[in-house]
Amino acid sequence: METLTSLPVSTVIILGTHLGTLPVAHWFSRYNSSEKSLWLSKHRVAALLGLATILICYQWSALQLILQWLISYTLLHTVPKHQLGKISFVILYGHVIVVNAFKFIYKYGDISLDYTGSMMLGTMRLTSLAFSIQDSTKPEEKLTELQKQRVMKQDITLEKHFCYCFSFIGILFGPFIFYEDHEKYMNKKSSEFNANNYKATLTLLQGVLALIIVIVALPHYPVEKNFAYKVGSPVSR
């Protein structure tokens, strides 16, 4: 596979998995959990698909993402709400910094797509959620218009928190989405989705074009050229 594509196997797996989510997302937008399949709610289906995605792509490194979620959920139930945003910001971003520092020291020059991108997306999501909960403790007159729209006054369940962190829609490459917008999408029924085939097709073609450019151009312009010297070799003077 690596010979045929001139791309690392890990990159091919991630890109292939990402492409595979397209038909799954189409099916998911029309999926409605009924009372007969209450266990398979949309939140659980999205979270399980996302969990399977990161396990396939990142293997054991996916444990870092699970640890990130556990840290966030623990803070949610142990830290006072009026301090939740700031403390979550420090701890979650500290976790990302430690992971990236480890990679810089022990895996310098490794430019393959890896779990740190998904970690950064997760940190943005979970930190924004923490600040939305913290804003619920402030007087309304002290909130900006954006804060008033995003403020979280109700408690978040384990299922919804897990889904927000691991939903297969955007778990690999994003985009970042606020919790409120995520819930609006998850609570929509299939009949409420407005079909716009033109925009959907155009977006899909743009993504395919970008993918083709990467596959064709990357072997001819390897990222390793950006390094002054190969890792492990003496520095030329």
Residue range 149-160, pLDDT digits in tens: 889 888 899 999
Q: Give DSSP secondary structure letters for 67-89.
A: HHHHHHHHHHHHS-HHHHHHHHH
Q: How far apart are CA 104 and CA 99, in angstroms?
A: 9
pLDDT 10s digits, 129-172? 999 999 999 888 888 888 888 898 888 999 999 999 999 888 88
Q: Give DSSP secondary structure letters for 182-208.
A: HHHHHT--GGGSPP-HHHHHHHHHHHH
Task: Single out the residue of 155, 117, 157, 160 nearest to residue 136, CA to CA.
Answer: 155
Confidence of residue 3 (pLDDT cuts 50, 70, 90): very low
Q: Any idea which residue has 């999501």 for tokens?
A: 125
pLDDT at 222: 64
- Does the pLDDT value for residue 224 go beyond 70? no
pLDDT at 4: 45
Confidence of residue 185 (pLDDT cuts 50, 70, 90): confident
